[in-house]
Amino acid sequence: MLIPASMKERFRIRFENNMCDVDGRSFNSEHVVLVSPSWTKIRMSDEGIYMEAEYESPPKTNSYGNHIIVGATGEKYLPVWDSLKGEAIAEEDKILGKGELGIRASANKHYITLEVLDKNKGSVLRLYGNEVELEGDAIDFVNVLGIHYQSFYVKTARNSKTEIIRENDKIKIKISK
């Protein structure tokens, strides 16, 4: 019997500040790494950092000290900065990109710094705001640090399109195939 794609079971991960819930199992962790999630949403503001993600098949979970690695396979996959092959173009209050990009956000005392890295080594595009929302289904890697560090790094997939828009003090990021 065939099951419609909309009814297939999805495996969910939630992370809020230092609590991580992986498909019903809870972990107290400040550092969570996701490898190849099928969908991810991250929200960061002065209230903290919140992440939600889904996998289409049961993810493998490994715990190393105070951090958790969740992935579709058991492989350890940590991308390096030199592997980025995408390109990002800055316009006024907007950044458009395609291909593999690195998106890094970190909270300071009064604002959030968002940085976009591409194939041009040494070139970093920056936006500043009070809140960041990221949502996408073309993400290779997510690295989230909780309450003490409040930062995240996302590597987009090779075939992705990225749109980053700053409206007032809110930065919205859409990553799609």
Q: Where are the beta strands (DSSP E) in 3-130?
A: 11-16, 19-22, 25-28, 31-35, 39-45, 48-55, 60-64, 67-71, 87-91, 94-98, 102-107, 112-117, 124-129
Query: What digits encode the pLDDT tens for the residues 125-136?
Result: 999 999 999 999
- The per-residue pLDDT string of the chain (177 residues; one tens digit each, 9 = 90 and over) reads 444 455 456 788 898 878 888 877 888 888 888 888 999 999 998 888 999 999 988 888 887 777 788 886 555 555 555 678 899 999 888 999 999 999 999 998 889 999 999 888 767 899 999 999 999 999 988 989 887 788 999 999 999 999 999 999 999 999 999
Q: Domains of the chain: which residue ranges?
A: 10-74+81-176
User: Closest by alpha carbon to 114, among 95, 92, 100?
Assistant: 95
Q: What sign results for the dihedral spanned by CA atoms 124, 76, 69, 57?
A: positive
Which single residue is written with the structure tokens 């995408």? 86
Return the residue matching tokens 């300071």.
108
- The closest alpha carbon to 153, from 173, 177, 123, 129, belongs to 173
Main-chain dihedrals φ then ψ at residue 82, nearest 5 degrees? -70, -15
pTM: 0.86
| 3 state DSSP class of 69 | strand
With 0-12 / 13-18 / 19 or more C-beta atoms within 10 angstroms meaning exposed / middle / buried, residue 14 is: middle
